[in-house]
Amino acid sequence: MSIILVIIVAATRLAAIMADTSGQVVTTTSGTIRGIVRTTTTGSVNAFLGIPFAEPPIGELRFKKPVPKKPWEGVLNTTALPPLCPQSPAHVNAYFQVTEADAMSEDCLFLNVFAPAGNDADLKPIVVYIHGGGFTFGGISMKIFDPSELAARGDLVVVVAAYRLGALGFLYMGVEDAPGNMGLYDQLLALRWVRDNANAFGGDADKVTIMGESAGSISVGIHLISPKSEGLFRRAVMQSGSAFSNQLKMDKARSARKARAIVTYFTCDKRENGSRNLSMKDFVACLRSKNYRDILKATESFNPTKLDGFFPVAGEEFLPEKPGVLLERVAPNAREVLVSVCAAEGDFFVYYLLTKLQRLNDINLLTKCQVDLFLTAILTAITRAEPEEIIEHYFDHINLGNGTEVAYAASDLLGDLLFLCPTLGFAKWLSSRQHTSVYAFLFSHKLSFLGWQEWMRPTHADDIFFTLGSALSMGVKPSGSDVKATEKFVDVISTFSHTG
């Protein structure tokens, strides 16, 4: 099966070089590419889909830092969406989900670039978007991450960058063959590619804004304080997440334990004679011999909820120390930062608890007992505080016989813990630094077409549709209020990217 997949992917890329003679032709440092023209609600954009910026991270390159793409000859047709990086099925909402049917490949380090069509000679600001998904799922080929409307309406060049996920992107073994943070290094290489090729797409390399949501926002926060990312962008937009996010335990010991779990799953820690006297390089070599689908299964064996997978690690050159320490010692890599959170970040997680874990479809049946274990497990995993005291603080003044009130109390706790406090806390730290301006907004519009249960409020990931403008390009009919909200948020991102 894997051989067939490789052949199909290779044939697809070969066809991309040979086919299609329409669309704008652009010469980059990697080679010449041809795009396609996309029509939006307000005009056309030149779209370049699936631009390779790194060598395929396969074979000996699996788990290593990315290697820049070698230049190709001829014209590469960047006219089709690339495959997703390997990941297990996941579901956030009706338009942010991964299925077994989605095309995937380890050869996934691509960029999608969208630039307003026309002959305007003025260079345009650039937005580089980093998708979310808990460092475990997501990808630049999903419709939700189509920024065509943002590019057209905002008069921006918008780049959406792929990066490796899960163990393939964040396995930490403490050796050069698996240094950890590979996914962050993928993002870094993409930012450098954008800097070097901005002019080719009519973009201004001196006016780059990096932007992300959830894990993408955490990534943006890390780039803000990483010495590796200095000089690659001017502004940053952070939606629902920061380098202070509580769900991140960036210590090497925790990361190493997860790596050991994968090694043990495959019995990579045993020689044929039963000896366990093996080196880290031996472990990495063993893991490189495994099919990526088997690595995904191994991860699921200890992370079935997808909430405690492989994450960035502090203490190596990309992130020399934990964010709180590093932020005290370095100046942020951007002087203007825009942060935001959704009005009810935690509603999604309560919905997950209700429908996936408790198998309940009626919010009125939800009780405090049913959420206690879930909340206690999360609090124990990511805080040092007494879970009982925190839980009681949120539930003390509600009607425990009302399922909606129970849901909202649990949601408020989770939203504060996972997103609101880390995001605003990071913003406060940034604003305390000299010459750094921080702005904030609250997302409070409820989409008409997501199909959430009636009790749910604007929740985690809902804002993506508005800030990228994809609410207008999903193939569904948005309400009038959806359109107005999209126009407002696109204008916010555009204005911030143009002038701060």
**Tens of pLDDT along 3-23?**
333 333 444 444 343 334 478
Residue of 255, 460, 494, 497 marked catalytic: 460
The answer to whether position 433 is within a domain reads yes
Q: Which residue has the tokens 């969208």?
A: 114
Q: Which one, of 444, 484, 490, 493, lies nearest residue 470 by Cα?
A: 490
| Beta bridge partner(s), residue 175 | 178
The answer to whether position 377 is within a domain reads yes
340 catalytic residue (yes or no): no
Residue of 88, 214, 219, 242 marked catalytic: 214
What is the count of structural domains for the chain?
1
Q: pTM score, two decimals?
A: 0.93
The answer to whether position 457 is within a domain reads yes
CA 492, chain centre distance (Å):
21
Is 468 in contact with 487 (CB distance < 8 Å)? no
The answer to whether position 336 is within a domain reads no
CA 157, chain centre distance (Å):
19
Chain mean pLDDT for the chain = 92
214 catalytic residue (yes or no): yes
219 catalytic residue (yes or no): no
Q: Which one, of 144, 131, 124, 113, lies nearest residue 36 by Cα?
A: 113
Write down the pLDDT at residue 357: 72
Question: Which residues in the chain come in under a pLDDT of 50?
Answer: 1-21
| Beta bridge partner(s), residue 203 | 124
Write down the pLDDT at residue 159: 99
Write down the pLDDT at residue 270: 77
- Which amino acid is it at 72? W
Residue of 106, 336, 345, 487 marked catalytic: 345
Q: Which one, of 467, 470, 433, lies nearest residue 326 by Cα?
A: 433
The answer to whether position 298 is within a domain reads no
The answer to whether position 245 is within a domain reads no
Range of the domain at 370: 346-461
Q: How far is CA 90 from CA 136, 300, 356, 414, in A?
A: 9, 12, 12, 20
